[in-house]
Amino acid sequence: MLKALRDRYGAHIVVANGENAAGGLGLTKPTARELLDAGIDVITLGNHAFAKRGILALMDSDPRIIRPANYPLGAPGRGWGVFRGSEGTSVVVANLLGRTFMTPIDCPFRTADAMLAELQGEPKTVIVDMHAEATSEKKAMGYHLAGRVSAVIGTHTHVQTSDEVVLAQGTAYITDAGMTGIQDSVLGLDKNMALSRFLTQVPGKFTLAEGTATLQGVVVDIDGTSGRATSIERISVEESEL
């Protein structure tokens, strides 16, 4: 569905979180290739960034794959990069990982500060994927970076939130962009398998749900000169609609 959506909105750059793309956990080289060939320009990751060993070499070799910047020094890959939109504007895409209810890691707030200090205001357009469990931590990051980045887009919980807003300082924000996958599921997993795990507390193999897929996300308009967002719009489209 991505080509039709790019044409509909005139999108200059497409960023997608792909950390659950490989059977629900992590990213593989073939899966990354499939996403990039579909028209995604930059793939961000999260707490499952290193779940598939085969992706490590690709992280180092392909700058379009971004893992959280606040992984400790020495981790493979890169946490942010500068990309060029289809109309020529330079765009920074950065990935941060929250710490609340998640694996302890370097501070995402101080990591963001260090990145912005290194950039020194150029390029103006900066998009941040804040991959975190706690709504409070995502909201705090939105306010922490307000006026300093173009957009803070939350990911990880697989449930699209309805709190999209352009903050007074010109930073677009949403707590969670949602999930691309089967909505008749439990976070993309077969609902019967998930129910059995909750009812019996007996672990079992994750089984992906089947059915009609929905693509969710946001479209953000950003002034390329100032880097300030002017609007943010939620999208949720079933494959049968395009």
Show which residues are catalytic.
48
Mutual angle of helices 108-119 and 135-145, in 10-degree steps: 20
Token code pair at residue 195: 């129910």
Q: Which of 196, 195, 116, 122 is nearest to 148 (CA)?
A: 116
Backbone angles phi, psi at 136, to 5 degrees: -60, -40
Looking up tokens 């996958």 gives: 181
